[in-house]
Amino acid sequence: MHAGAAGRTIVEAHDVTRVYGAGEAEVRALDGVSVSFPEGRFTAIMGPSGSGKSTLMHILAGLDRPTSGSVVLDGVAISQLGDRALTELRRDRVGFIFQSFNLLPVLTARENIVLPLSIAGREPDAEWIERLIDTVGMRDRLTHRPAELSGGQQQRVSVARALASRPAVVFADEPTGNLDSKSGHDVLTLLRRSVDEFGQTIVMVTHDAAAAAIADRVLVLRDGRVVHDGDAPDTEGVYELMKSLGG
Ligand SMILES: Nc1ncnc2c1ncn2[C@@H]1O[C@H](COP(=O)(O)OP(=O)(O)OP(=O)(O)O)[C@@H](O)[C@H]1O
Ligand SMILES: [Mg+2]
């Protein structure tokens, strides 16, 4: 394990509930979730459609607020922060990778990678950025715009963007969902390397057993509750696990 991974908790949720709507239309998307994510670990969150995976990720990342319960991110009780402080904390300490890449179409690959730092008014750590560019293998595509890149290349740019600020945690929602299996595997390998080589903490929502198998830990949600939490098995083991939990 990476030298920086001392087992410190980076994100924790305490008895988090999230209720959408009211009355007849009420949906309990999360129903008393308590979970913690130690530094330098790669966690996959799985579960059927509608089980609350994205809702949990959004609440852990400070993109949404719990109806009750609390979240501590990198030592900060984020449920108590105002909108502005929360935005700054996300910008400075959280990296995001989305299924649909979310790159800015008018910017080049390099500009997209450093964009979060530019917005924060921070000077990029040049050596780190160059290392990331090589790690994700985008050195010869840096002046290309997203429309001139394949899906796999765009997602590799968003991996570098997510890591650029050396965030406390990276949240990824279905990062391989729009990729063919080869490009998906490349992106997963990159995420794995960032954990092994840089001690990055990653929380990844996925439906893909092969993606979950590359993680250290698999958390399964069902009806807004954690129904399994254990070390990640191999791909076959993830299929077996999902089957034993009723899909
Ligand atoms: N903004 C919203 N308003 C009302 N209900 C919502 C909202 N967002 C999510 N839900 C409901 O909350 C539940 C959990 O949704 P969530 O998006 O977290 O599921 P998920 O596990 O990410 O599913 P998927 O695998 O399909 O992405 C679902 O029943 C969903 O319909
Ligand atoms: Mg989802």
Model pLDDT for residues 96-118, shown as the tens digit of each residue = 999 999 999 999 999 999 999 99
| Residue 240 token pair | 């077996």
| The model scores a pTM over 0.85 | yes
Q: Are 119 and 91 in contact (CB under 8 A)?
A: yes
Q: How far is the CA of 242 from the centre of ligand 1 (A)?
A: 19
- Atom number in ligand 1 closest to CA 56: 18
**Does residue 200 sit within a domain?**
yes
**Contact between residue 191 and residue 202 where contact means Cβ atoms under 8 Å apart:** yes
**189 neighbors 202 (Cβ within 8 angstroms):** no
Q: How far is the CA of 28 from the centre of ligand 1 (A)?
A: 9
Helix (H/G/I), strand (E/B), else coil: 74: coil
Is 104 within a domain? yes
Q: Establish if 60 belongs to a structural domain.
A: yes
Query: Which atom, in ligand 1's list, is nearest to the CA of 224?
Result: 14
Q: Which of 16, 24, 26, 27 to mutate to test ligand 1, by most ligand atoms within 8 A of the CB atom?
A: 27
Q: What is the pLDDT of residue 77?
A: 97
Residue 73, domain member (yes or no): no
Question: Which of 51, 67, 174 best tests ligand 1's pocket when mutated (most atoms within 8 Å of CB)?
Answer: 51
Indicate which ligand has the atom closest to the C-alpha of 173: 2
Backbone angles phi, psi at 32, to 5 degrees: 80, 60
Per-residue pLDDT of the chain (247 residues; tens, 9 = 90+): 454 445 799 999 999 999 999 999 999 999 999 999 999 999 999 999 999 999 999 999 999 999 999 999 999 999 889 999 999 999 999 999 999 999 999 999 999 999 999 988 999 899 999 999 999 999 999 999 999 999 999 999 999 999 999 999 999 999 999 999 999 999 999 999 999 999 999 999 999 999 999 999 999 999 999 999 999 999 999 999 999 988 5
206 ligand 1 Cβ < 6 A: no
Alpha carbon of 126 to those of 37, 75, 80, 174: distances in Å? 29, 28, 34, 29
In the prediction, which pLDDT does 79 show? 86
Q: Choose the residue to mutate in 17, 18, 20 for probing ligand 1, maximizing ligand atoms within 8 Å of C-beta.
A: 20
Specify the CATH number for the domain of residue 118.
3.40.50.300
* pLDDT value for 3: 46
Asked if residue 186 belongs to a domain, the reply is yes
Over residues 2-26, the pLDDT tens digits come to 544 457 999 999 999 999 999 999 9
Please work out whether the CB of residue 234 comes within 6 Å of at least one atom of ligand 1: no
| pLDDT at 4 (0 to 100) | 47
Indicate the residue type of 31.
D
Q: Is residue 19 part of a domain?
A: no
| Structural domain count, the chain | 1
CA of 54 to the centre of ligand 1 (A): 7
In a domain, 30, yes or no: no
Residue span of the structural domain in which 44 resides: 38-65+80-244
